[in-house]
Amino acid sequence: MTDEECRELGIMTEKEMDEMNKRLERVEEAGIADTQKYFDRIHDKLFALNSLLIAGYFAVIAIRKDVPSWSIIVPLINSGFLLLIDYRMMVRARIQASITTVNEKQRDRYGSIINNTNLFSLLSIWSTIAVVVVFVYFILS
């Protein structure tokens, strides 16, 4: 079928279908990049909140004598977890920057990091919520 016949029947030509597929691939790549940006933004906000909570824990420990001083470990552990997530994101970006030249082992590691990103992000949200809950408990007790 020629391009002219396709147009008369209202069917996309081969060239138009190829262009549409290329546009969809670009949209898909932009979507992946946006998803990674949003994960980074979420982690940045959680890290900032955790930093405020560390200051809050220090204040509660200084003001209230019944709050144990070891409780500062709670937000510090969460901070370490958030740093681990940032490190994993950095490793992902480093491998992604040279994805065409890395070996198979590195590509497998990249896939593992990508596959676990959602899980680590969810865990970071829940761990920060736990730090907030413990903080509120110390304030209200």
pLDDT at res. 38 = 84
Q: Are 123 and 60 in contact (CB under 8 A)?
A: no
Q: Which residue has the higher pLDDT, 123 or 6?
A: 123
Q: Is the pLDDT score of 87 beyond 70? A: yes
HSE value, Cβ hemisphere, 13 Å, CA-based, for 4: 0
Q: Is the pLDDT score of 31 beyond 90? A: no
Average pLDDT value for the chain? 86
Q: Is the pLDDT score of 1 beyond 70? A: no
pLDDT at res. 14 = 77
How many beta carbons lie within 10 A of that of residue 107, not counting itself? Answer: 12
pLDDT tens for 33-83 read 777 788 888 889 999 999 999 999 999 999 998 999 999 999 999 999 999
